[in-house]
Amino acid sequence: MLTNHHTHCEFCDGQTSAHDMAEAARDAGFSILGFSSHAPLPFGTDWNMDGSRLGAYLATIRTLAAEHASPRAGIPAMGILVGLEIDFIEGLCGPADGRFREARLDYSIGSVHYVSPEGPPTVGFTVDEPEDDFAAHLESFYDGDADALVEDYYAAVAACVRAGGFDILGHLDLVRKNNGGKSRFREDTGRYRAAAMQVVDALAGTGIIVEVNTGGMARGKTDSPYPALWIAKELNARCIAVCVNSDAHQGNQLLANRDDGLRLAREAGYRKLTVVGMDGRRELPLE
């Protein structure tokens, strides 16, 4: 059963329209497609949805859901869910904000992109921004101390988990994206692992699903999915559910590196995936 709950479209930084993304998913045999455009922020960016477009986004995805709810020409029906990927910036915004509850979403993804050495509610910069920007900001904000940035990032993700209000945790260790070749920080040190384990410990018992996200691989930025295998093993040891998502920004990315995501989940010891379905959560045998 093919599912994807991390999908972007023209309402944020997606490069394929919602209509065409749904057509691509249906042609590929998906059973469930969840749209998760980057939610509006209290400030403007070139990758988040503008707040004035939220109503149109919700209406567009719900119209597509109705259009794909019935079989056609021998192609089975496909469930479409309306969600958002919502940034958590402590003291400023997050998935638990009332405006997102009022949107009556089918599900939401909680994610951290922004880090700041000044602490809440400052914004800082995004850990997944282009390489040159990241290098400049690491120097200007952290005096080049990548280990300090890593600790701030994981502290923010743990705070996001504790604040709650969402169903799926997005790209848990996104901070790896600009660490190609382990050039900025080592990922096998006690300091790094202790920082990441804050998130794992915070997740235990919350019911939040953690996505195995293949987007970094699809864009040539990482050689494995998020999260790293060792983190996935720690998640499994604590009975924290996972799903596999592509973080697609184009229709041809819906299945990108899916086999790698499934393989990581298996190697971590998982035998089932947990997804948000049309009538709540459901468990699927790991393919």
- What structural domains does the chain harbor? 2-285 (3.20.20.140)
pLDDT at 233: 99
Q: In the prediction, which pLDDT does 26 show?
A: 97
Rounded to whole angstroms, the Cα distance separating 252 from 100 reads 29
**134/137 Cα distance (integer angstroms):** 5
User: Which residue do the tokens 């295998």 mark?
Assistant: 229
pLDDT of residue 73: 86
Q: pLDDT tens across 86-141, in order? A: 999 999 999 999 999 999 999 999 999 999 999 888 899 999 999 999 999 999 99
**Average pLDDT score over residue span 31-57:** 98
